[in-house]
Amino acid sequence: MLSISIIIPILNEAACIVTCLQALQSLRAQNCELIVADGGSRDDSVTLAEPLADRVIASTPGRAAQMNAGAQHARGAILWFLHADSLPPPNAAELIRTALAQPQHSWGRFDVRLSGSQLLLRWVETLMNTRSRLTGIATGDQGIFIDRRLFEQIGGYPPIALMEDIALSRMLKRHGRPACLQQRLLTSSRRWEQGGVLHTILLMWRLRLAYFFGADPDALARIYYRRGVNPRP
């Protein structure tokens, strides 16, 4: 049974980190380790996480930096990057191992289900999952998992302030398309609801299009946070 390191970047996630880690406790008995990479939380996130994780490490802030730091401390043959506001299906570890046992796949992601009840969110998640399946590009909300050897071969997440998941996917695609699992992660819809669902959709489309045409990720990050989106992770 291949070991899996679950790496969770956090920044002031006291409201959800316990729920996330409690949902993952059963996986610790299935040869999975839990690593929490903190980017300088000022709330009780670290204190709450410590009893429920195998290790909690301090990192420079920024999701890419935190996930790379977590990977450096990981022992697993598979690295699974999970957001603190996402809850996986109970058989997630088995699904990941089965997917990566196929010779054509060395990385992959889950479909996503957003937690809110607005009908527009159903359209958002359907679009996310369909676009990812067609393009082979995964987002962090979809719980990207990677063979550790490939992750190290490509040098990990690019050290950029935004769109690090898109940049990583582009590098990984050179080594094969992702395993696109139909089973869903339940992911918080707070990002869309806080800024307004339609407004956030348009903002993200604008930022992705700008990144596609070569815009500086640092500049895009400033726009992202200036528009009222909560600091990440």
Helix residue spans in 160-213 (DSSP H): 164-173, 190-195, 197-212
Taking only the tens of pLDDT, the chain with its 233 residues reads 899 999 999 999 999 999 999 999 999 999 999 999 999 999 999 999 999 999 999 999 999 999 999 999 999 999 999 999 999 999 999 999 999 999 999 999 999 999 999 999 999 999 999 999 999 999 999 999 999 999 999 999 999 989 999 999 999 999 999 999 999 999 998 878 887 888 887 888 888 888 888 888 888 888 877 754 454 44
232 assigned to some structural domain: no
| pLDDT at residue 214 in the model | 82
Total structural domains within the chain: 1
| pLDDT at residue 231 in the model | 45
The pair of structure tokens assigned to 46 is 């670290």
CA distance 106 to 188: 27
Domain of 144: which CATH number? 3.90.550.10
233 assigned to some structural domain: no
Place of tokens 């339940």: 186
Cβ neighbourhood burial of 162 (10 Å; 0-12, 13-18, 19+): buried
131 assigned to some structural domain: yes
What's the pTM value of the predicted model, to 2 decimals?
0.93
Instruction: Provide the domain limits for residue 213.
Output: 4-226
231 assigned to some structural domain: no
**pLDDT tens, position by position, 76-89:** 999 999 999 999 99
